[in-house]
Structure 1
Amino acid sequence: MAGLAGKGRGQAWPCLLFAEPEQLGGPEPALQARESLEMLAHDEVAGIDVGKMRLDVHVAGVAEGFWTGNDGRGIRDLIVRLRRLKVRRVGIEASGGYERGVAVALSTAGFKVVLCDPAQVRNFARAMKVRAKTDPIDARMIARYLMAAGDLPLYQPDALRDRLGELVNMRRHLIAERSELAAKTDQIADPMLARLLRRRLRQLAADLELVELEIRRHIQSHAELSQRAKALMAVPGVGPVLSTILIAELPELGAIGARQIASLVGVAPHPRQSGLADRGGKCSGGRTRVRTVLYMACLSALKARHSRLYPFYERLRANGKPFKLAITAVMRKFLTILNAITRDSAAYRPT
């Protein structure tokens, strides 16, 4: 993609729709022909690959993609161009928060915005035999994924949840930095550097306390967030950390079915069967940060002999299921319980 160097804001890059197989990492010509027909039939779809500084855009059925800046001016230009191209639905790959500005702006401007899971888009690209990975190709694959996936949940701007998400992200970064520096305390011999490290660790502890206090204040000062947090924490095994993560990073909880929510988090097994071979289901993709906190919560629940999760886990282990399979099933069951409680606004029942 050396030819992109030096192009200015909003300039086009060549469309890869009709590129040779080796340029895209291997798709067959028949696949490309089918893709071109699909795109012509879905000319209202666009895919956006989000970076810190720029947005790469691919509009289905259009011969050229383009890029623009990921800032106020660039997003305004993007809205004008998408309207000119009659785009209605836009797929945006979640990108650690860099996508928030463009997602809010497009949704406010009347576009149907879908936040796509990066792992699911990449798995889709592999299924299409596209091994190359560049920003323009990613934008193209997001558009194709959006067409193939059909009816996906639309992004709805939520200022309260967005701010909670920012606070949660900051908390995560502070904890990661603290862990990294704490691991170095025994490796530094220089007294001056050791003092700097201790001072930084104290500052991180203070910053973390401040952020956690603001998270609690933010939830408690807004009835919608507070009620949802209380309902979740009424379930044994759900503490402040898990409830906050679920509210901030899994807004679909309670709005979609059990199978869908499990797949979204990455704890739903997908079949792997071909001919006479049946290798069982495999869980992959999903929202890693939600899954990690859910895993830790399930471990704690099992240690506390949770009234619904522990007997279920024991039955699985007694039937010869390995730990990894059993704990994944427990996570799925726990998530199903939380999804039903949120959906029905019902109180938790131990049995």
Structure 2
Amino acid sequence: MEDKKKYFRIGFVGAGTHANNMLYPSLTFLDDFEVERVAVCDLSEEKARKVASNFGVAHVYTNHQEMFAKEKLDGVVVCINAKGHPPVVRDALQADLDVFCEKPTSITVEESEELAELSRKTGRFVMVDHQKRRATAYQKALEIVKSPSFGKVTMVEAKMHGHIYDNLFNCMMEWQIHNIDIVRAFAGDVKEIVARMCRLADNRASIAILLTFENGAVATLNWGSEAGGKGRFCERIEVVGSNDEAVIVENVRHVIHYKEDESKEWAPNWVPILKNQTTVIDGYVGNLREFMNCVLERRQPVPNIEDEVRALRVIYAIAEQLGIPAEWTITIGDR
């Protein structure tokens, strides 16, 4: 006899490119849930109606407050833009709704701190969609790191190259904040930061960062707009333990676990089945599943708004050391 599927009524704010490419399609692969797609809201009614038609959403709104007031929802997905997230998340929390918010949750640390305080006050969750936490390769690596044989994490080496944005701050907030979040997943909270940069242009640079963590571990991060682009070689993490073990994740697809005298490797077999879908391998499906389970079970999701506050503090500290202005130039609706 098949297990009974869990039921979840979900609403959406945002009908842009990222939501259409990654979040809405992920609903199809939540095979352990019956998800009622109650409503979608966007400032563009045309975009909202297109989402409703393409993904089977019942109702369309252009005012999120009206949607929160009229619809019975278990949770809401907010995917607009860092500048637009805070007022919508705030309204959702005040409407007694749990929130799944795309990263970054805000442009400033202070705005996310205010959301964290409101989350604590209302008792409602804000989960942040740093999807790499539930990417298949990183899940396997985290399982290895948390095993008793691995010992204490002592060192992390990471790189993240790729996207060229209008300026370096946009790149750090939209792209390299992923690197901060996943490194924190392995090593914990950051205590000290030292950053250096080779600047090529206002929006092009190579950046080297040394982190010290509260638990004593250290990390080196290498970020840039050069060498690797968006493709096969843009992302890599190696985590070293105190018991002569380490694990490497190459570009979110390939895992190598090595010890003194042996190593094991994992990669997707690319058979077109559920577990090999891009939205599954990259972690979007896993994050949405975690959000829904946490709402139903009333347990705090991870990563949450407190994690985002810590990640944003690191980003701002790096930008300040490097003299990078905290200037946000991405237009609302671009996501």
TM-score, normalised by the number of residues in structure 2: 0.29
> In proportion to residue count, which structure has more helix?
1
TM-score, normalised by the number of residues in structure 1: 0.28
Whichever of the two has the greater Rg, that structure is 1
